Structure 1
Amino acid sequence: MSVHKHRAALSVLALAGALVLAGCGGSDDGGSSSAPEVSGQPSTATSSPEATSGQTGEATPSSTGSPATDSPSAPAPATASEPTTATESDSVSEPPAAAEPTGTASPSSSEPSHPAAGEQPGGSVASVEACRATDLSGAVSPQQGAAGSVILDLTLTNDGDQACELSGYPGVSFADASGEIIGVPATRSGTSGSAVTVLPGESATAQLKQSNARNHGQVCNPHTTAALVVYPPESYTSLSIPYETQACGNPKIAQLEVQGFGV
């Protein structure tokens, strides 16, 4: 039994010496070869991060990978160009609101100018208001006599600063010194005539016929007049024209007949 143990020990020593010689021989070849792995370290010490991550179940980013593609929480690509794109499409699809067709003349440039209200080309008066009593003065003058009557001209003058119009019959009555009306107003005779435009300072005339008071006898009930009260056409105010004569106070007797202006 001791002999066998001695031989086994020699074999171990011989093997160890062979290994030592083999190691020395490797270093003599230039020292470029790596030493054999005899330390018994596990190969996982030099394993790549990908292998480790596969074992643990956690994603470990690679040192050479792109963060934008490897990381699941990386932000989406920038969208700063989207508002610009929407604005451009809006401006293309919507034409300018104030666009007008070219080559079209403005209506005002092709229409003739119109005269101002109340005027005609050349400055003549087209339409004016009716004459007011406050802008008029009057006169009465005999023109001719007939059997039992007299023809008078009733003249009204425009004392205002604007043209006015006399159109139709005036209203005429006798009045005493206190302004009280005597008898009945004048009746209308003939035609109403045409409208007369009276410029400032000018006049228009209507004819007035008066019968004599004595023609009617005692039933006339004569009174001495002081004026004629005249209402211009279309007027509710009157003017007084001095005129003295004998007028019948009987309301059934008409002494005055009047024609229209412009006859």
Structure 2
Amino acid sequence: MSTRRLRPVLAATALVAALGLTACGNGLESSGSASTGLSGSPSETSSADPSASPSTSSTGSRPSSSATSTGGSSPTTSSGSGASTTSTSSTGRVGRCPIGSLDVGVRSPSGGAAAGSTYLLISFRNTGSRSCVLDGFPGVSFVGEGDGTQLGAAAERTGTARTVTLAPGRSTTSLLQVADAGNYPQRSCAPTTADGFRVYPPGSTEAAFVEQSVQACQGSTGGSPQLVVSSVGTSG
């Protein structure tokens, strides 16, 4: 692991450009393996109630403290397996995916690790009976202390915003870069073990908690973000 400071935004942008931005319906296609301290096992959860503690089980557990959402942006259009931009409802429009109709999870891509960082895919699966839209960037932050307390700053965005329409049972992903806490001065970073991530689907004011043990800076990272997130419709 590199102990020098890095610029995660540039690393994430380079990774996205190299691997290509596509709407994910059922995974990604790349080689290698992501490493550096995060489990590759998926943790699935969804929540419409931000009042519960993340110390409960990963399925159905919720954060208690609010976090700054980075969701919502003027999108471009993208489509892929299980995702389209033409489906309509009885009103002639496809509605935004509500948090109650989404399973939100985190998994490791099959490739995309870089020195000093780990890359993860945040997955959003439509569990409802109707097609729905996800539009732009999710909001992501570390939470901890067993009660949903936000640790450090929310994720910064990278890349172009996209719109994905999910048919029932289909999914899409957003690429998340997590810089190693060891990249930052220990005194200012004040590293601690996070309980997981608070994830706001794009445009949502309600969040899901996804359990994931990872070292997070609860203090300052000196302007170099520890978390950088891409739009939905992005795979590694």
User: The TM-score by the shorter chain falls in which range?
Assistant: 0.5 to 0.7
**Partners of 1:184 and 1:134 in 2: CA distance:** 26
Amino acid at match of 2:129: D
Alignment of 1:178-193 (within 5 A): 178-193=147-162
Q: Distance in 2 between matches of 1:262 and 1:153?
A: 11
User: Aligned AA for 1:259?
Assistant: S
Q: Deviation per CA, 1:61-95, whole angstroms, max 9, x where unpaired?
A: xxxxxxxxxxxxxxxxxxxxxxxxxxxxxxxxxxx
**Alpha-carbon shift at residue 172 of structure 1 (Å):** 0.3
Q: Structure 1: give runs of 5+ residues left out of the alignment.
A: 1-116
As a proportion of its length, which structure holds more helix?
1
Please name the residue that 1:255 is paired with.
Answer: 226
In the alignment, the residues of structure 2 paired with residue 211 and residue 256 of structure 1 have an alpha-carbon distance, to the nearest angstrom, of: 7
Between the two proteins, the alignment pairs up a number of residues equal to 142
C-alpha distance in structure 2 between counterparts of 1:174 and 1:258, whole Å: 13
Amino acid at match of 1:141: R
Distance 2:172 2:93 in 1: 17
Structure 2 unaligned regions, length at least 5: 1-86
Q: 1:119 to 1:137 in 2, by over 3 A?
A: closer
The SS at the match of 2:197 is strand
Equivalent of 1:235 in 189, 204, 220: 204
2:88 match? 118
% of aligned pairs identical?
Answer: 35
More strand as a share of residues: 2
How far 1:119 sits from its partner (Å)? Answer: 4.9
Instruction: Tell me, yes or no, if structure 1 residue 172 matches structure 2 residue 140.
Output: yes
Contact 1:223–1:249 (CA<8 Å) still a contact in 2? yes
Match status 1:147 vs 2:115 = yes
In the alignment, the residues of structure 2 paired with residue 153 and residue 188 of structure 1 have an alpha-carbon distance, to the nearest angstrom, of 14
* Equivalent residue number for residue 60 of structure 2: none
TM-score computed with the length of structure 2 as normaliser: 0.56
Structure number, greater radius of gyration: 1
Work out which structure has the larger RCO, using CA pairs closer than 8 Å and 6 or more positions apart in sequence.
Answer: 2
1:216 and 2:184 aligned: yes
How far did residue 208 of structure 1 move? 0.7
* Partner SS state of residue 214, structure 1: helix
Correspondence list, 1:71-110, <5 A: none
Q: Closer, same or farther in 2 for the Cα pair 1:208/1:126, shift >3 Å?
A: farther
Contact residue 134 and residue 239 of structure 1 kept, 8 A? no
Q: 1:226/1:192 Cα in 2 relative to 1: closer, same or farther (>3 Å)?
A: same
| Residue matched to 2:215 | 246
| TM-score normalised over the length of structure 1 | 0.51
Which residue does the alignment assign to 1:138?
Answer: 104
Relative to 1, partners in 2 of residues 1:209 and 1:126: Cα closer, same or farther, differing over 3 Å?
A: farther
**Deviation by residue 1:152-207 (Cα, 9 ceiling, x = unmatched):** 111011122221111100100011121111100000001112x1111221111011
